[in-house]
Amino acid sequence: MVKTLLLTLTHYHILRFISAAGPTTRSELAARIGLSKAAMSGLTRELLDADLLCETSTVQKQGRPSALLDLCPHGAYFVGVSMVSDPALMALVDFRGAIVSRVKIERNLDPEALAGVVSDALPILLGKAGIPKSLVQGMGVTVSGLVDHEQANIIKSTLLGWQDVPLAKYVHQQTQLPTFIENDAKTLAVSERLFGEARDRHSFSLIWLGEGIGAAHFVHDRLHRGAHGGAGEIAHCTIDLDGLPCRCGKVGCLDTVASMIAILDMARAEGLKAETLNDIEVLAASGSSVAIRLLHRAGSALGLAISQIIQINDPQMIVVTHRESRFDGLFATVMHQTIEANVLPRLAGVTPIKTRRVADEDWAIGAASVATHSFLNGLI
Ligand SMILES: [Zn+2]
């Protein structure tokens, strides 16, 4: 519960609308949500009193000033824990997705011990920001791996060596906060939907180009999970029928050609001195035919996989996320060209392809946004 207000479905609807649309006037809210102006005025007053909304500025509407309402950053806070980085990062994030405090914690690989670490760090995190625990609505934890529909259990995480781990239960027992677990790429997609470029998009796909390749898809405003939680995981789409063995047991998966582990392994095997994608880009720019071939192959494989997502889902936007300091070299160019060349001409050029660098703290914001998303959908 927020302050003294018991939120109704209509309150959540208003908050979700503003979260997606940005600052909005009462009359526009009334028209878009289908309520009278008087009813909307009462509901927004309740949300203002609960500090979940605030008036940001005024606009002139038909000659009269109208106040714009936005989410109040100080009305609700969420904790995000990123298990993607080591040490793990824990952040306190406000209602608009800004970090207000952060603390690095041990990435303990014993799930119950980790819950204790998180619980011990919570008062430190809150103390740094001077925020009472009563304003924290929930916690999100992001991990690489497969997470169940309830966002409670980790079905399998190769990186953490976990299988069937009820982490949400452990963390909740220790912190008493509603806790939601989410996979890494899905975490970034939720964050992008709430606070990023996909804020006003109801259907989009996000690709995470990391050591492995992740993908997540919002379809009609819902994270599409599929029947078994593995929907749209493009890493193990076969891209080369005669390709290399993959860690999943198949051969020729996208992961064996275009993941950062694969690209760097192939570069080293071919005698290139490269620690990052950018190192290979520099070699390619200086004329290394090996570097050019590797980047071409990886960029076209990823582009081909993305073109198939566009053909299958026809999303409003694709966001390619990565860790690289630069993402404008041969790899990205070939990826873009391959996408354009392999979608139907009708779809060519109509799907914006955005790229975005992800830093350590983006994972913690993303984890918190998973809890924010649950809150806005009335699940807390
Ligand atoms: Zn595979």
CA of 311 relative to ligand 1 center, distance in Å = 22
Q: What digits encode the pLDDT tens for the residues 324-369?
A: 999 999 999 999 999 999 999 888 889 999 999 999 999 999 999 9
Q: Are residues 173 and 86 in the same domain?
A: yes
Report the C-alpha gap between 169 and 115 in whole angstroms. Answer: 9
SS3 26: helix
Which pTM value belongs to this model? 0.93
CA of 214 relative to ligand 1 center, distance in Å = 12
Report the C-alpha gap between 298 and 239 in whole angstroms. Answer: 11
Measured in residues, the chain has a length of 380
Report the range of poorest mean pLDDT among 192-196, 246-250, 269-273: 246-250
Q: Are residues 206 and 353 in the same domain?
A: yes
The pLDDT, as a whole number, for residue 247 is 86
Write out the residue range of the structural domain in which residue 123 sits: 77-191+361-376
CA of 58 relative to ligand 1 center, distance in Å = 54
Structure tokens, 29: 């809210």
Q: Are residues 103 and 247 in the same domain?
A: no
CA of 206 relative to ligand 1 center, distance in Å = 19
Report the range of poorest mean pLDDT among 52-66, 171-185, 345-359, 361-375: 52-66
Report the C-alpha gap between 102 and 95 in whole angstroms. Answer: 16
Residue 4 lies in a domain: no
Report the percent of the chain where pLDDT is more than 90.
87
211 vs 169 pLDDT, higher one: 169
CA of 56 relative to ligand 1 center, distance in Å = 49
CA of 291 relative to ligand 1 center, distance in Å = 24
The pLDDT, as a whole number, for residue 153 is 94
Nearest 10 degrees: Cα torsion 363, 365, 366, 367: 90
What integer best gives the mean pLDDT of the chain? 94
CA of 236 relative to ligand 1 center, distance in Å = 4
What 8-state DSSP symbol labels residue 366? H
Confidence of residue 227 (pLDDT cuts 50, 70, 90): confident
Q: Are residues 353 and 207 in the same domain?
A: yes
* CATH number of the structural domain spanning residue 372: 3.30.420.40
CA of 234 relative to ligand 1 center, distance in Å = 9
CA of 215 relative to ligand 1 center, distance in Å = 14
212 vs 3 pLDDT, higher one: 212
Exposed/middle/buried for 275, CB within 10 Å: 0-12, 13-18, 19+? exposed
Q: Are residues 225 and 303 in the same domain?
A: yes
CA of 149 relative to ligand 1 center, distance in Å = 22
Q: Are residues 133 and 112 in the same domain?
A: yes
Q: Are residues 103 and 144 in the same domain?
A: yes
Peptide bond into 87 cis (omega under 30): yes
Q: Is the pLDDT of residue 2 over 70?
A: no
The pLDDT, as a whole number, for residue 4 is 65
CA of 250 relative to ligand 1 center, distance in Å = 5
Report the C-alpha gap between 128 and 112 in whole angstroms. Answer: 25
Confidence of residue 277 (pLDDT cuts 50, 70, 90): very high
Q: Is the pLDDT of residue 60 over 80?
A: no
The pLDDT, as a whole number, for residue 7 is 93
CA of 247 relative to ligand 1 center, distance in Å = 6
Q: Are residues 83 and 184 in the same domain?
A: yes
The pLDDT, as a whole number, for residue 230 is 79
CA of 10 relative to ligand 1 center, distance in Å = 44
CA 263, 318, 18, 150 torsion-angle sign: negative
Q: Is the pLDDT of residue 323 over 80?
A: yes
Residue 3 lies in a domain: no
CA of 94 relative to ligand 1 center, distance in Å = 38
Q: Are residues 176 and 231 in the same domain?
A: no
Contacts of 380 (CB under 8 A, 6+ apart): 137, 138, 178, 371, 374
Total domains present in the chain: 3
Q: Is the pLDDT of residue 24 over 90?
A: yes
Q: What is the mean pLDDT of residues 263-272?
A: 96
Q: Is 109 left (phi over 0), alpha (psi -120 to 50) or beta?
A: alpha
